[in-house]
Structures are given as structure tokens and as C-alpha cells.
Structure 1
Amino acid sequence: MNIGALSLLVLAVVCLIGTTGCGREVSQPTVAAPETHSAAGVSSEGELPLTAPDADVISTVTLTGHGEQGRKKWEVRGDTADLAADVVELSPVAATSYGRTQVDLTADHGKLVRETQDVELDGHVVIITSDGTRLVTESLDWMADSEQISTEAPITITREGMVVIGVGGSGYPNRNRMRLEREVQVTLSGEKGPTVVTCDGPMEVDTERMKIRFWNNVLVKEAKGMIRSDRLDVDIHPETHEMEHATFWGHVRIDRGEQTAYAHRAHYWQREGRMALVGHPKVETAAEEFRS
């Protein structure tokens, strides 16, 4: 089966959580002198205010984080009515993370908690990487202490030849890990038609170990047939990012044409195009079922 296309999924996640540069080495953010504009449209530049401005005055602010050797790691831009508040509200929000892959983020609204440096984003949150990966959700939270991004909302990740959807998710950029909680569907295009992988969830991705794991009611479907199992583990080559090996665990059923195979476990080696059934394997044909 053409499940080698799953390597596209790892490429997308590497770009989203492995290259954001949100590590501990980033210094405290600096704030550029805001550009303020009133309802009358008059703008001026000045020092960062120590007290909240008038209610009808909006400040455009830029926060910048730097890493080693003073290199700019990220930048956040937005409009706020109160720079001195404990919780700074920005609307709209635009951010850029600079690394091996540039990551751009936009959202309708954002909140920055000064004391904890936690960030909440709401309303059409979009993340786009410079190599074409795109993530869309309605809310996204960043917990600075645990260095975790999370959402309870539906998520859509797209890349050329691939669409991933799920509900709820979390990620740890510095640990190179990502998780979609439930209702997971991965659609991968191919020359012989699409390959669709679904599971009840979760789906776990570890880009450091180059592994993807699908949990509960897993179904891999493509033109030649389908495979069902309780769990699916995919191992990815660290250099080529191509699938090396896949293991289907528990209640494995393979439907292909008139044949149906059963086993406790199944292994698939991409390079050899070979599959092995382990644990009381059994193969049935439609003719045998009819005779019985």
C-alpha cells in the first residue's frame, strides 16, 4: 500500500514545531516606540507610555525577541489601547518567527499576560511556513512556563499533496513533539489516487525520533484496498524524511480485492515493498466464505 506518502506529514510538522525557535535562550522581549493614532487619524511617534492612554487612542506596538549574538528570533505586531495593562490586548495580531524556516502567524485578537508571558490567540489563527505548510484554527494558546502550544478547536494543516484535520491539539516546539487529540484524518495525494488515514485519536508526532503514532480505530484506505488496526506506528528516515517501516498493532484486518487477511500485528517495509503478518495470521477469499 502507498503509505510511504505519510512522510509528507513529518515534513509539515517539522516546519511547524521544529523550527520555530521559541527556546529558553530567547531574551526578554523589547518593545518598539509605539505609533499612536486617535479617532481623528492623527499619528505620532513617542516613548513607551507608563500609563494607559486615552480610551480613544490606539497604539501600534512591536515586540521583538532576540537570541544568541543578538539575532532577532521573533517579532509580534498589533494594535492595543492599553500598553500598561497587566494583560495587553492586541487586535489584530501578526507575528514572525525567524529560523531555518520562517514562520508567519496572524490572528484577529491576541492577549499577552505580562507576568507569565503567556499568549492567547483567537479568531482565524493562521500559521504559514516559508516552505508552504499552512495551519488554520480558531484559537491557540502559548504557555511560556511549559513552552506548550495548545488548542481545543478544530485544526487543519495543509501542504502540497497533503491535508490533515483534527479536533484539539498541543505541541512542544523545544521537544519536537505534536499531538492531535481526536477525529484525525490525513489525506495524501498520489499518482494512483489518494491515501486516507483516519483514527479516533490521538495522533502523536515526535520529530526528534522521527515517529508518527495513530491511536484507536485506525483505517488506511487507498485504491488497492484498506487496512484496519487498533494502532499504527510509522518510522521515518531522519535524512530523507521518507517512511522506512510501519507497524499495525491489534486486530489487524487487510482487505484487498477478494482477499481478507487477519493478524495480531503487521509489518510493512517501504523500501522492499514487503508486508509480514505476525500472530495467528489467516487469509480468506470471497469464494471460501461463500462455500462455508
Structure 2
Amino acid sequence: MRFVIFVLLLGLLGVIGWFIGISDVVEINTIGKEILRDTNVVLHGVRLVEKKYNKPSLQLVAAKSVSPLGEEKTYLERFTLISYSDDTDDSKDKDTPFASRDLTISAENGVMMNETKDLEASGNVIVRDEKGRALITESLSWDQEGRVITTDGVVRVFGSNFVLTGTGMIVRPDDETVEILSDVKATFEPRKHK
């Protein structure tokens, strides 16, 4: 149903664009330009899956998305972004925080660049990996191509046997590195052997 509404909306925009192309009718041309100048594409209940080599590479679910015409970005409300890696090595078995390849980012608000899929997230930001480890902060940036997470804010990282806190962070999931930039505190619990 959402897809049908989206297609109808695109069709309506196409008709308006066709009217703009009519140079004989000045009134329609002026009205059409005014409508397109202030138009946003607003979608509620969005689900987008991008595929690369017939496998999901990115999935976005949002309560609302707003794409202003003429801008190369989309504004998101209450969203979840899953970034899938095409990497198939065995590093998923390592126990470094965020060593697994698939990451889920959830937040109250976000701005996604349409071409690059880079993301600025804010408001109750939570990043989770496949093993349930979590990063919690108030804002962060995600570089889709470089697969790097950065933030200048206060961070908390939770795992099955550790808690890390600090200010500022750089996470490179594919290199299995987590760098907390300042005010670092760590708590570790010994693993229980079976």
C-alpha cells in the first residue's frame, strides 16, 4: 500500500512537471513552479532495502521520512538503519566490541545523505552488533562507505562481560577497533568457564 501511494505521489509530481514544461499557459507554469518549489516528499511507515549482488546491503525503517525536493538528503524520525557488510571472513567470531559486520543504528532523529547513505543521528542513539553488544550516545555520525562511527558526545558501551564509558569515540567495525577519546572508564567481569 505504501509503495502504491509512493508511486502515485511520483506520478503526481510528474504531471506537475509536465505542466511546468507547457510554455503557452503562463498561469499553470507559475503555479506548477510554486508548488514544486515548496514541496516535500513525506512518507510515513517507511521500509527501504538496498541490495548489492542480490544481498541486502542496507535496510532503513522509519516512522517518518521527509525528502525536500532539490536537497540531496532525507530527514528521518524514529528510525532504524541496518548496515550489512559483504565481508565473509571469520572475524565475526572475535570478541572485540563491534567486530561483527552487521550493525543496527536506532535513533529519534536522523539526516541521511541520499547518494552516500552517510548518516547523522541524534536523540537516544543506540548501535547494536550481532552479538548484542551496544553503544549508547546522544549523537553520532555514520560513514557508510568507510563503515566508521564517530561521536564527540558521552558514550557507554555494553557487552556480556564489560562496560566502557567515556567521551568521544571512533568505531571501525571492519578493523575491529573501538577508540574512546577521553575520560575512559572500563569495568570487566571475568568469564565463567563451563
State if a TM-score over 0.5 links the two structures: yes
For residues 114-160 of structure 1, give each alpha carbon's deviation from its aligned partner in whole angstroms, at most 9, with x where no partner exists.
24432100000112233221111111102345443210011111112
Structure 1 residues 157, 66: CA separation in 2 closer, same or farther (over 3 Å shift)? Answer: same
Pick the aligned partner of 1:64 from 45, 49, 67. Answer: 49
For residues 82-139 of structure 1, give each alpha carbon's deviation from its aligned partner in whole angstroms, at most 9, with x where no partner exists.
3644221010111224465553321000101224432100000112233221111111
Q: How many residues align?
A: 150
* Distance of 2:173 and 2:132 partners within structure 1: 19
| Structure label with greater radius of gyration | 1
Structure 1 residues 143, 129: CA separation in 2 closer, same or farther (over 3 Å shift)? Answer: closer
For residues 163-211 of structure 1, give each alpha carbon's deviation from its aligned partner in whole angstroms, at most 9, with x where no partner exists.
01110011233433331100111101238xxxxxxxxxxxxxxxxxxxx
Letter in 1 for 2:76: L
SS at match of 2:7: coil
Taking structure 1 as the reference length, what is the TM-score of the superposition? 0.44
Shift of 1:56: 10
Identify the residue that residue 73 of structure 1 maps to in structure 2.
Answer: 57
Identify the residue that residue 92 of structure 1 maps to in structure 2.
Answer: 78
Using the aligned pairs only, state the percent identity: 21
Identify the residue that residue 47 of structure 1 maps to in structure 2.
Answer: 7
Letter in 2 for 1:77: V
Unaligned residue ranges in structure 1 (runs of 5+):
1-33, 37-43, 192-292
The alignment's C-alpha RMSD in Å is 3.1
Unaligned residue ranges in structure 2 (runs of 5+):
14-35, 86-91, 93-99
Does the CA-based 8 Å contact 1:49-1:83 persist in structure 2?
no
Structure 1 residues 67, 58: CA separation in 2 closer, same or farther (over 3 Å shift)? Answer: closer
Structure 1 residues 90, 130: CA separation in 2 closer, same or farther (over 3 Å shift)? Answer: same
* Distance of 1:110 and 1:154 partners within structure 2: 18
SS at match of 2:104: strand
Does the CA-based 8 Å contact 1:119-1:141 persist in structure 2?
yes
Identify the residue that residue 264 of structure 1 maps to in structure 2.
Answer: none
Runs of at least 4 residues of structure 1 off by over 6 A?
Answer: 52-56
Structure 1 residues 173, 65: CA separation in 2 closer, same or farther (over 3 Å shift)? Answer: farther
* Distance of 1:131 and 1:45 partners within structure 2: 37
* Distance of 1:114 and 1:141 partners within structure 2: 15
Identify the residue that residue 35 of structure 1 maps to in structure 2.
Answer: 2
SS at match of 1:82: strand
